[in-house]
Amino acid sequence: MMNMDPALDMQKASQLLKLLGDKTRLMMMKLLQSHDCCVCEFVAIFNMSQPGISQHLRKLKDAGLVKETRRGQWVFYSLNRENEYGGFIDDLLKHLPDQNERFVELEAQGLRITCE
Amino acid sequence: MMNMDPALDMQKASQLLKLLGDKTRLMMMKLLQSHDCCVCEFVAIFNMSQPGISQHLRKLKDAGLVKETRRGQWVFYSLNRENEYGGFIDDLLKHLPDQNERFVELEAQGLRITCE
DNA sequence: TACATATATAAGTACATAATTATATAATAA
DNA sequence: TTATTATATAATTATGTACTTATATATGTA
């Protein structure tokens, strides 16, 4: 049978799984599947300090799973679709429950950043 | 879109990923996909003490991912195919490289336990 | 300019984790 | 029975991790 991730060895796979084996980071990835997010939105969603959020995002970025883009005073994070393990990650995330509700809540609180 | 694992919430998913985010346990699961294994075979495969192996197996068992069966003096471990998160686990493991080579090596060293 | 907002980094801390060695338990063989 | 093999558990230790608060940096605004 064809191996669809020839570069995904045990070492790399376990690193990725460890990274996603944290509830906050896993949910960040699921959220980013539907919307880009800035740091302050994550701070509003998770019950955690801003530095805590930034540190989780840094780990995801270091692993190549997300990208950051500054837009004005905000830094937006998005999935890195060019990541070589994207197929693995997608296959994993598709098993998780949709989190769009979180964005609806944000909107309701007026905390959604649109940033023209 | 249908969610195929209605019971797999973020909490549970991150627990499972953390469990598999260890190289030894991840490889154990991949090995068990093709062959049941007794503890001493794992000890021969991994460069780790016997208690270390037993402790990893315990965690996999506590999470319901594997089952144990005593056969004579050996305790064999196998995948728990009735596990409610089996679909998630399978989807994950299918991305990993086949490990049958390890069993070939074991056989060559005369360390494979067949246990009639 | 000075001030406010958004984000990142540094430092510290509590806790979790994965390994080890020592020991206990269970099955088998002599 | 005693000894041997296989496995599990207990105790310990070193390291890693996920937070926190404090501070630095960068952007935007008055």
CATH of the domain at A89: 1.10.10.10
In a domain, B113, yes or no: no
Question: Considering its fold, how many domains does chain A have in total?
Answer: 1
The domain containing residue B28 runs over which residues? 15-108
Integer Cα distance of A48 and A26 in angstroms: 15
pLDDT of residue B111: 80
- Tell me the average confidence (pLDDT) per consecutive run of 10 residues in chain A, 116 residues long: 69 98 98 96 95 98 97 96 95 95 90 66
Q: Where is average pLDDT lowest: B39-43, B45-49, B57-61, B112-116?
A: B112-116
In a domain, B77, yes or no: yes
In a domain, B82, yes or no: yes
User: Shortest CA distance to A88 belongs to which of A4, A2, A23?
Assistant: A4
Q: What are phi and psi of A113, to 5 degrees?
A: -95, 125
In a domain, A92, yes or no: yes
CA distance B45 to chain A (A): 14
- Token pair for B13: 């998913």
Under the banding of pLDDT at 50, 70 and 90, the label for residue B79 is very high
- Token pair for B18: 């953390």
In a domain, A77, yes or no: yes
Protein-nucleic contacts, chain B 35-74 to strand D, CB < 7 Å = 38-40, 43, 50-51, 54-55, 57-58, 68, 73-74
pLDDT of residue B6: 60
Angle in degrees, 0-180, between the axes of helices A10-20 and B10-20, rounded to the nearest 10: 150
In a domain, A10, yes or no: no
Q: Encode pLDDT of B10-43 as tens digits.
A: 999 999 999 999 999 999 999 999 999 999 999 9
- Token pair for A86: 């994207």
Q: What are phi and psi of A83, to 5 degrees?
A: -60, 135
pLDDT of residue A51: 98
- Angstrom CA distances, B24 to A79, A110, B28, B66, B100, stand at 28, 46, 6, 14, 16
In a domain, A7, yes or no: no
User: Shortest CA distance to A61 belongs to which of A28, A102, A12, A21?
Assistant: A28
In a domain, B57, yes or no: yes
